[in-house]
Amino acid sequence: MASVYNLLSDCGALGLSLEEAQQVIDKMVVVVRGWSGWFEKHQVEERSIEKFTGAFLPECFFRKEPISAP
């Protein structure tokens, strides 16, 4: 599952500093948070929109620490 932690953990491989990578993530989050409005604008059925709720930016995406092993 994608997470902020995972995205930032190797940002140097993309030539980005932590600060630059966080800025990219922040911009992406703003866009993705508007997904349902975009779907509505393009006349996607309400039942389909409801099925996607929770798929975009689930709470676990905002994890900033590695998952600890049991």
pTM: 0.77
pLDDT score of 70: 65
Average pLDDT over residues 27-38: 93
Interval 51-60 mean pLDDT: 88
Q: Is residue 70 part of a domain?
A: no
Q: Is residue 65 part of a domain?
A: no
Overall domain count for the chain: 1
Report the pLDDT value the prediction gives residue 69, as an integer from 0 to 100. Answer: 58
* Pick from 60, 66, 69, 67: nearest CA to 10: 66
- Residue 47 binned pLDDT confidence (cut-offs 50, 70, 90): very high
- Give the per-residue pLDDT at 25: 95
Does 25 map to a domain? yes
Q: Is residue 68 part of a domain?
A: no
DSSP structural state of residue 6: H
pLDDT of residue 68 exceeding 90, the answer is no
